[in-house]
Structure 1
Amino acid sequence: MAGKARTAALAASVVLGAVLPMTAAAPANAAAVTCANGSWLAQYYANTWLGGTARKTRCEGASLNYNWGAGHPAGIALSNGHFSARWTMKRDFGGGGPIAFNVSGEDGLRLYVDGVRRVNLWSDVKRDHGAGFTLNLTPGVHTVQLDYSVYQGRADVRLGYAPAAYDTVAPNAVAGFKAAHFPEEADNRVGLSWTPNVEMDLAGYRIYRGTQSWNAYAPANLVATLSPLARSWVDASGAFTYAPNSSYAIVAYDTSGNVSPVTPALLKPVNYTPPGAPNHFQLFGYSGNETIDWDGAGSGEYDVYRSTSPNGPFTLLASTDMAGYTDASGSPTVAYYYRVDETDIYRNTSPLSAVVGPTAIETP
């Protein structure tokens, strides 16, 4: 194809906002695998048209950035330079707002958001091509799907998305905000917990403290500014005397300075009931670089234990305040098993989870 004709064809194939039918429905075997919010469901095919049954269906974490060179994904029976793949992700975008998408790679690329085709670059090319667009998403969960094919030669693909620089949409109000007093502690400490916000441009949380049920939220009452990863905080300042009407308030704010609605919380007696054991585990990757995700109460800290046998003994590997952990300390030739417990802000520790594993050993 001549240079001008080729450029015009590629430009015409980038669809921004037009509603086009999806060219291929998700195969039935995709339903057998369920991935966590924000993780990619990947399906790999031994042809360039996403036809038949996928050779491999698996969850692949949150990042989509691959460069296989003249090869193909390890551990999957595919031909070098001649295969296709589909990645599908459901993600809660919180309060929504403008999200900038950028996709590139070699060769074929089709990108859908909520079933609407936004990019159509389905052709054999000699170098990377790509497209970008910005979409104003409504609050809540959206589905992103990327179809990819490589006809010959080099295989690489990447998809990025992030809040647009001109975002004016505030984060959602913080949910599940609770405050409890520890009467047995000499410093009058108070434990606070909440459900983390999911906005991609979340910058952090601000916590305010008041002496009445209605007056916590005021600039002069700011007592803590926390990172976007925080999901709990202990007020151990000793400056606050418990009273029946004492209160706290929390807001979330994003990188553009937008602030969520205020969420208040009255103090309640301390809770001595431990959380349930973490569950709904997923493993991504291989031994030596394994990521473990799970569901928990989300109100404290998790301890991750590891063993080379499902029967133990399990040794403490790490502690984290996130519902996930990447184990890069193991051997790539050894299969590992894991168990996790959770300690909440009241220092109640859950039972250990069920055994998770074994991890996969990557074959050359």
Structure 2
Amino acid sequence: MRVLAAMSGGVDSAVAAARLVAAGHDVTGVHLALSRTPLAYREGSRGCCSLEDSFDARRAADRLGIPFYVWDFSQRFAEEVIHPFIDEYRAGRTPNPCLRCNERIKFAAVLERGMDLGFDAVATGHYARLDATGDLTRMYRAIDPGKDQSYVLAVLNQDQLSHCLFPLGDSLKTDVRAEAARLGLSVADKPDSYDICFIPDGDTPGWLTDQLGEQTGEFRDETGTVVGHHDGYHHFTIGQRRGLHLGTPAADGRPRYVLDIEPVSNTVTVGPGEDLEVHHLEAIRPVWCSAAPGASWRGQVQVRAHGTPVGCRVQIAPGGVRIDLETSLRGVAPGQAAVLYDGDLVIGSATICGTDRAGTDIAHAGQPGVDGALR
């Protein structure tokens, strides 16, 4: 099988490519250049798209004896990932750019070009498991719970999954590093990347300020009383506690959290932690990794990449889903992904557009104005 191995420059993608070579596949390595002006060197273990990473990927490909290319996807990455990320924050939502990158770049743009060039599949170093039975390709959580990446892959549809390979899904990360060392790969001890690749210094608020500017706004408590001022609502996300610098302490002395963000008035509402308790979610734009489920069913939902899944009842509606939680969650923000599971099986994902706290009506904070959205 002709396989296009996406090589980020890290240990995981290098070992994934090595396993495919060992299995006898015709493997070609490709590194994605996602920035026109990449930093020459990574800052610590932040980011994954620097020049240093491309050099590491090339060295790994040379060690494996496979062809290697760099594909420039910087313009498409800016249009499909960076600009929507800014727009989501401008609207008061909290996006996950890794999901969008997987959906639009790594498993759409790369697959599209790879298929056009005659490749049979695209392989990555993501930790998830695939099972192709009959006409259906099912995705499951990885064996290593600490490295499971099914959450950020849950935006993939059946057509994409049927042309994907995840060689590391059955492995522990410690074993992958040991394998890299045995193969003589220079990235064996390279730190994992984290944070947002196009914000390599990790200062997301500062980067957003450069994009959106500063504008003084108000902190208000649940009664509408002004309790402080800030330099822009985009500095905050629902559930945040640190960095508020409120001028007026709570009457009971307890810490306060961000409860709501109103972009139009540049107002951030703060209050006690218990007011963050969420019992119901509404989400739009569902993508079903496995076959579309029935109109109502029970499973689990996860709202963060390394969050704890909770039991739920899911009701399918035109344009979206309603999710009733068996155990409340805290600090869920519009724009986050709700990924649905049946045990280890990934059912699909949808974008959260509203939450119901402590029995209140669904609040569509910063809801996208899209056709078919739940209202």
Structure 2-normalised TM-score? 0.31
Bigger radius of gyration among the two: 1
Structure 1-normalised TM-score? 0.32
By relative contact order (CA 8 Å, sep 6+), the higher-ranking structure is 2
Q: Which has the higher strand share?
A: 1
Q: Which has the higher helix share?
A: 2
